[in-house]
Structure 1
Amino acid sequence: MSTGRLLSLLLLLQTRGRVSARTAAADLGVSVRTAYRDFARLQEAGFPVYAEPGRGGGHRLVDGYRTRLTGLSEDEARALFFAGLPGAAADVGLAEEATAARLKLLTALPAGPRAAAARTAEVFHLDAPGWYREPEETPFLPVLVAAVLDRTVVDVRYRRWRTPQEVRRRLRPYGLVLKSGVWYLVAATRDGAATYRVGQVLAATPTGDRFDRPRDFDLRVHWAAYLADFQGRRFTGTATVRLSPAGLRRLPDNLPPEVVRAVEATATAVGEDGWVEAVIPTEGVGHACGELLRLGADVVVVAPPELRAAMAETVRTLAGAYG
């Protein structure tokens, strides 16, 4: 049984008045028999649902009954988005509001659904940041959140990877994205929309100037396009490598998923000792050298010659250091 589905059914009854089992089944994507069972479960949970028999009948709530989410402040309403993401709520300065909103939601539910929701909260936890790294410091995230919500232009000082490393930008913030525990800001400049890593923002000052976000801008669509473009620009070449059986086992823990998939798609056996040869995508000689060295002697670069030479030079330097 889905508690979320029962709440959706309750809201259907509240907004439409009378709902037939066939209509409920179509809206909720379940069978008619399941819809009848869900109506019965609402009654068992203490909701005043009753059936009207006959042609044109259905189920409805007792006249005047409405679920109420009372006393939610504006910040608590915003915090509902983060109710299941305590870490993200804390990042944007809404930890207390998220807790208060969650408690008010639970209080608004009858005893049955309230207990089910509480049990769910006890057994699920989201920890967004990836392994082997500390959470990124984002001291200016609350400022950027306010700028996004209020549609206020903000001046930022930003550190990037290319020269000059430190730049200043006047941004019109369109939205924020949390990916693998890292916050990104999507904002417009004079040159169009761009993406900024919030942890690299060195200063952020609201200007007080307001702006209108384009009506046709969709943050999810923009982010999907950005990721596709990033992947297209990320890998600029290929390399042919040989991997031992141990290298194959260690591959998923040490190299990106795109490389793992490429090995799975192109691997061919070399000899009878379990070694395979495969073609993998690379981001450049220096980057590929650093990543492949994680596998030590369980990988051998066959081509291109410049990557093979970089690997050999690095190994010679290491041998000298430990000579």
Structure 2
Amino acid sequence: MVRVLSVAAVRFAPVRAARLLSLLLLLQTRGRMTAQQLAGELEVSVRTVYRDVESLGAAGVPVYAERGPAGGYRLLDGYRTRLTGMTGDEADTLLLAGMPGPAAELGLGAMVAAAELKLLAALPPELGDRAARVRQRFHLDAAGWFRADEPTPHLAGLADAVWNDRLVELRYRRWKQPREVTRTLAPLGVVLKAGRWYLVARAGTEVRAYRVGAVLELTVREERFARPDDFDLAGFWQAWAQRYEESVYRDEATVRVTAAALERMPFVFAPAMSRAARAAAGPADEAGWLRTVVPIESIAHGHTELLKLGADVEVLAPAALRERFAATARDLGRLYAGGDKAPS
């Protein structure tokens, strides 16, 4: 037997309004749920769930109670659309509402704005005011410091191919020879990392990451591909990023540094370099210096990076890097001692 719940209307306190919205969204996303299941999700008592469901009914939300072993609470079919009026595309982009800049780059700015307006219109006044306060107080700027935006003219096209599971053919510029290659890919996702966009795509049987800024030409095919059911974009990216960091640092430098230099490393080194160097640091000697190992890409890279620590670092090995520091110190000594005067 199915019945509609109806009681006198009530006014909701802000905390309770948030809980009622959570209950409503649970029913929208999961369908039929028992009072016990709702109580577990909301971390309240079953009696509280009963009261909240009745309050939703009183506010005009068509919540139904179905009795019996397979019973539970559910919403009237189709109520989701009448609640917000959202289209499918707008709902898909809702998770990007906190990132207006990246969403605009993906070509989704208008849909994000429309989705946000419809969501705010559907919220109780208390939650609508809270959403406005959050937007005024929190802002996401994903780009790194001192880095210009990388042009990504093909990002929107790639995003559309990802949404629609369409194969793409692209001409791509890479670091090794031949510098320019053409690939046919099955695009699985896009990732924003430190202000740079990356395409995660399947090439043959392998899944790889490509920098979107290095795409020179793009053709989105009409042909579709079957997306792997078990593909986890976040999991792939975490594993790929870790492998990439480990592959970049093929060498290491043994150094001794002051405690002040060790504290400065997170601000002057890449995160992988800083983490490894700080983790490998031994105890301080009588003069306060610590011995550690710093991952480096090459002698030239190590020279450039370790110079940021000035006189608070001494390179012990490899010998080629130590000699390069010695040569730099001699050149600086001559320059600042007046042996090589700067041009007037």
Query: 1:306 corresponds to which residue?
Result: 320
Task: Please state if 1:231 is matched with 2:237.
Answer: no
Structure 1 residues 164 and 316, CA gap change in structure 2 (3 angstroms): farther
Query: What letter corresponds to residue 298 of structure 1 in structure 2?
Result: D
- 1:165 maps to which of 167, 172, 179: 179
CA contact (8 A) 2:27 2:75 kept: no
- Over the matched positions of the two proteins, sequence identity in percent amounts to 42
Offset, 1:272: 3.6
Q: Could you say which residue in structure 2 is the equivalent of 1:78?
A: 92
User: Does 2:227 match 1:213?
Assistant: yes
- Distance in 2 separating the partners of 1:23 and 1:74: 27
Tell me the TM-score normalized by structure 2: 0.77
SS of 2:130's partner is helix
- Cα deviation for residue 71 of structure 1 reads 3.3
SS of 1:163's partner is coil
Structure 1 residues 254-293: aligned runs within 5 Å: 254-269=268-283, 271-293=285-307
Please say if residues 17 and 124 of structure 2, whose CA atoms lie closer than 8 Å, have aligned partners that are also in contact: no
Change in 2 beyond 3 A, CA 1:316/1:36: farther
Q: TM (normalized to structure 1)? A: 0.82
Query: Equivalent residue for 2:45?
Result: 32
| Unmatched segments (≥5 aa) in structure 1 | none
After TM superposition, give the deviation of residue 205 of structure 1 in Å: 1.8
1:222 matched residue in structure 2: 236
Query: Which residue of structure 2 aligns with residue 102 of structure 1?
Result: 116
Distance 1:65 1:223, change over 3 A: closer
Cα distance in 1 for residues equivalent to 2:311 and 2:102: 41
1:92 equivalent in alignment to 2:106: yes
Q: Is residue 144 of structure 2 the alignment partner of residue 134 of structure 1?
A: no
| Alignment partners' CA distance in 1, 2:243 and 2:326 | 33
| Residue-pair matches, total | 317
User: Which entry has the higher C-alpha Rg, 1 or 2?
Assistant: 2
Determine if contact 2:169/2:219 at 8 Å carries over to the other structure.
yes
Counterpart AA for 1:32: S
2:103 & 2:333 partners in 1: Cα distance? Answer: 49
Q: Per-residue deviation at 1:270?
A: 5.0
> What is the DSSP-based 3-state SS (H/G/I as helix, E as strand, rest coil) of the residue aligned with 1:162?
coil
Q: What residue number does 1:175 align with? A: 189
The amino acid of 2:149's aligned partner reads P
CA RMSD of aligned residues (A): 3.6
Distance 1:99 1:124 in 2: 17
Does the CA-based 8 Å contact 1:12-1:19 persist in structure 2? no
Counterpart code for 1:36? T
Alignment-derived partner of residue 12 in structure 2: none
Partner of 2:10: none
Q: Kindly state the Cα deviation for residue 133 of structure 1 after the two structures are TM-superposed.
A: 1.2
Aligned to 1:194: 208
Which amino acid in structure 1 is aligned with residue 110 of structure 2?
E
